[in-house]
Structure 1
Amino acid sequence: MRILVIGNGGREHALVWKLAMSPRVEKIYAIPGNPGIAQLAECVDIGIGNNEALAKFAGEKGISLTVVGPEAPLANGIVDYFTGRGLKVFGPSQAAAELEGSKAFAKGLMQKYGIPTARYAVFSDPDQATAYIREHKAPIVVKADGLAAGKGVIVAMTEEEALRAVDSIMRDHTFGAAGSQVVIEEFLQGEEASLLAFTDGTTVVPMLAAQDHKRIFDGDQGPNTGGMGAYAPAPVVTAALQADIVRDILQPAVDAMRQEGRLYCGCLYAGLMITETGSKVIEFNARFGDPETQVVLPLLASDLVDIMEACVEGRLAQCEINWLNQAAVCVVMAAGGYPGDYAKGEPIRGLQAAAEEGICVFHAGTALRGDTVVTGGGRVLGVTATAETIPAAVQKAYAAVKHIDFKDVQYRKDIAYRAMNR
């Protein structure tokens, strides 16, 4: 069969890498892809916002299954467009993807159906948002309502920081239309975890719990990023706790969406805070997490194509999903200056030297200049290692990182420190 993967980041490289392992797959196309993906798939330059051109390509190439990586095409209705033309596609519809596309919608759904989450209020007037912050004090969390590439969340430890966040989002329009509303939430104390799940709209099958590292610097210091690394399985989510999360959060969310006439099919991502009073939802995403995908998929023992087809065809309950009894760690190598302004076009050295058994170097923001791979984004590479234990995977990942270099490279030196401290 022929597969099409939409997207060009580390998540999509991991998806292509895993899908390519299926004996059922004869060819993979990626739109637009990247230099790492190009080693496994044919990359084609079509705008990922052009549903008509994407569907035309899928029809002409006889694509059996399209897998949508990023959130923007989902919010743009790619799944509805493809389905309407008889094309099989893995991902939620436009109506279902609003679970990620609008934080206000997601919070309203959770409140209506009793899904545990932080107390919150929604504002479209910056003066009212400011008054609310002054009344409730810091620490407090300010979020742009719409899609902001994982950067529209400010965990404000001081009142001044929270007020600046409102000004930035609502008055300076830092995130454009995504900031026309803000969601302001209580600050939750605990440990974060990500639990992704496969779903066909009725059945929910969790993947292995992972933990992302959002802040740019060691010790969780500095501004939030799209994610500086991850590891799985996250020991904070025990087998018993995972069962509780499926029962109290993931299954109710999928059931709620179905009851709202928004059948949710694809990958559902729950960003969680594990508090003393139980797990609470920080956010839902309507797709695979990045960089969590780079640590979860290397531990999947089953055929990803079979699972995705079962989701699309509504028969996930009959699908057996198995996992390796191993650990995976991903260290993100980022451009100097990220998550602020950063340079592009810096040559990357040592990619071949880093490649060994049990190591995957997933390309997140790279480009080609002639035959040379150069930096092309803020998060440049995700260096992932698998091993028997988390400490062994950490050692292996950082040994691989040492082989790779580019100008002003930055990366965290403490990925998986919480697991190590246990």
Structure 2
Amino acid sequence: MVEKVGVLVVSYGAREVAIVDALTRSTKYKVEVYVADKQRNPFNVKKAVEHVVIPDLNVEDICRFVEAHKDKIDFGIVGPEKPIIEGVRDMVEKRTSIPMICPTKEYAIEASKVRQRLLFQETVPEVNPRFKVFRMEDFGTKEEAKKALYRWLDELNGLAVVKPDKPAAGKGVGVWGDHFTTREQLFEHFWENLKHGDVIVEEKIDGEESSFQAFCDGKHLVPLPETRDYKRAFDGDKGPNTGGMGSYKDVGDILPFMTRVDWEKEVAIVNKIFEKWKANADENQALRGMPFYVAFMHTGKHPKILENNSRPGDPEIINILPVLKDDFVDLCFKIL
């Protein structure tokens, strides 16, 4: 007799469709899916036993949905960053004791690009580009901020990337030569972001980008095949940054422009960060889920890290789940 399993999926879009699909394709379990969705996704509606739309993915509303079905849910998976950063795992586990596959609020490092850079600087400084953190309280006037920024741009020969500290769904980053071609344009982008929080300005790194993802049970990392996404809208990458215009993986575990040595470097770098970070955790399972979804830039010398996210890649995980050899439900139980 096939065992019945109830799974909560917190959903934003296509990434979670891939998760729901992987769960319900299980041949070893009868999976009943309970979906807390940002919108009325037709695939999720069709597959779910219970489906609720929570447009802002508010963690309190998600938790109430779980509480209403807690006797039928065995575990939960969270795709989007917002509820992870806002502590959905902490709240659900505290109020229902249902285990969640995502990092705790404290270890959702996607919440701060500044915190990421400082962690990398402490652990693997060679992966960081040159960077500087700007805070509104450091400046009395807009003109003071502009002068400080321009001094830093002089050090970078004008080749800079402007990033808000807080997540902006892949749309807050501005790159010299792509999003602006004058210092005034760069400053306006910088200033609009600085109004809302800290801004980090980094040297622009050229190369080929790859996405590194790894499943984690809190104690071990299992790297997944490499993928690459495309963020810019329109043909020729002429448009603005988006949350993702699609992605691909090669027939093997690495991308066409990578060597096995490149991949081994990535694994070594992420494991070094993981071991340092894990040692600081109160309990090892705080990092459970996918605490590392790392954007690497391959420069022809040493790889650099552009950023790290605390969730499955959107859209990169869509390339991985359909080709898993293991039953995805079994894999989830191993993570737990």
Higher helix share: 2
- Give the Å deviation of 1:236: 2.5
* In 2, Cα distance between equivalents of 1:139 and 1:25: 54
Structure 1 residue 94 corresponds to structure 2 residue 105? yes
List gaps (5 residues or longer) in structure 2: 137-144
The residue aligned with 1:241 is 262
The match for 2:77 among 55, 59, 67 is 67
Structure 1 residue 218 corresponds to structure 2 residue 239? no
Farther off after superposition, 291-300 or 73-82? 291-300
The residue aligned with 2:201 is 184
- Give the Å deviation of 1:154: 0.7
Q: What secondary structure, in the 3-state scheme, does the structure 1 residue paired with 2:295 have?
A: strand
Structure 1 residue 124 corresponds to structure 2 residue 135? yes
Farther off after superposition, 121-130 or 22-31? 121-130
- Give the Å deviation of 1:189: 1.4
Counting only pairs closer than 5 Å after superposition, residues 135-154 of structure 1 correspond to structure 2 as: 135-154=155-174
Q: Deviations over 1:196-246 (max 9, x none)?
A: 110122211111100111111333333222111110132233333222211
Give, as a single letter, the amino acid of the residue that structure 2 aligns with 1:92: P
Counting only pairs closer than 5 Å after superposition, residues 381-392 of structure 1 correspond to structure 2 as: none
Q: What secondary structure, in the 3-state scheme, does the structure 2 residue paired with 1:302 have?
A: coil
Give, as a single letter, the amino acid of the residue that structure 2 aligns with 1:147: P
* In 2, Cα distance between equivalents of 1:25 and 1:274: 43
Q: Deviations over 1:378-414 (max 9, x none)?
A: xxxxxxxxxxxxxxxxxxxxxxxxxxxxxxxxxxxxx
Q: Deviations over 1:19-64 (max 9, x none)?
A: 1112324311111251222222242134664434433432432211
Question: TM-score with structure 2 length normalisation?
Answer: 0.84
Paired residues, what number?
Answer: 303
* In 2, Cα distance between equivalents of 1:59 and 1:90: 17
* In 2, Cα distance between equivalents of 1:26 and 1:68: 17
Whether the 8 Å contact between 1:8 and 1:34 is mirrored in structure 2 is no
Structure 1 residue 7 corresponds to structure 2 residue 11? yes
Whether the 8 Å contact between 1:139 and 1:159 is mirrored in structure 2 is no
The residue aligned with 1:266 is 289
The residue aligned with 1:43 is 51
Q: Which has the higher contact order (CA 8 A, sep 6+)?
A: 2
Give, as a single letter, the amino acid of the residue that structure 2 aligns with 1:301: K
Q: What secondary structure, in the 3-state scheme, does the structure 2 residue paired with 1:36 have?
A: helix
Question: TM-score with structure 1 length normalisation?
Answer: 0.68
Q: Deviations over 1:50-95 (max 9, x none)?
A: 4344334324322111110100001111111122231110000001
Relative to structure 1, the CA distance from residue 83 to residue 48 in structure 2 (aligned partners, 3 Å threshold; closer, same or farther) is farther
RMSD of aligned alpha carbons: 1.9
The match for 1:82 among 71, 92, 104 is 92
List gaps (5 residues or longer) in structure 1: 172-176, 313-422
Counting only pairs closer than 5 Å after superposition, residues 350-369 of structure 1 correspond to structure 2 as: none
The match for 1:290 among 314, 322, 335 is 314
The residue aligned with 2:141 is none
Q: Deviations over 1:266-288 (max 9, x none)?
A: 11201110111122110000001
* In 2, Cα distance between equivalents of 1:242 and 1:135: 31
Relative to structure 1, the CA distance from residue 229 to residue 53 in structure 2 (aligned partners, 3 Å threshold; closer, same or farther) is closer
Q: Deviations over 1:334-361 (max 9, x none)?
A: xxxxxxxxxxxxxxxxxxxxxxxxxxxx
The residue aligned with 2:139 is none
The residue aligned with 1:162 is 186
* In 1, Cα distance between equivalents of 2:329 and 2:310: 19
The match for 1:19 among 23, 33, 46 is 23
Relative to structure 1, the CA distance from residue 47 to residue 163 in structure 2 (aligned partners, 3 Å threshold; closer, same or farther) is closer
Whether the 8 Å contact between 1:143 and 1:182 is mirrored in structure 2 is yes
Percent identical among aligned pairs is: 33
* In 2, Cα distance between equivalents of 1:222 and 1:49: 28
* In 2, Cα distance between equivalents of 1:301 and 1:48: 34
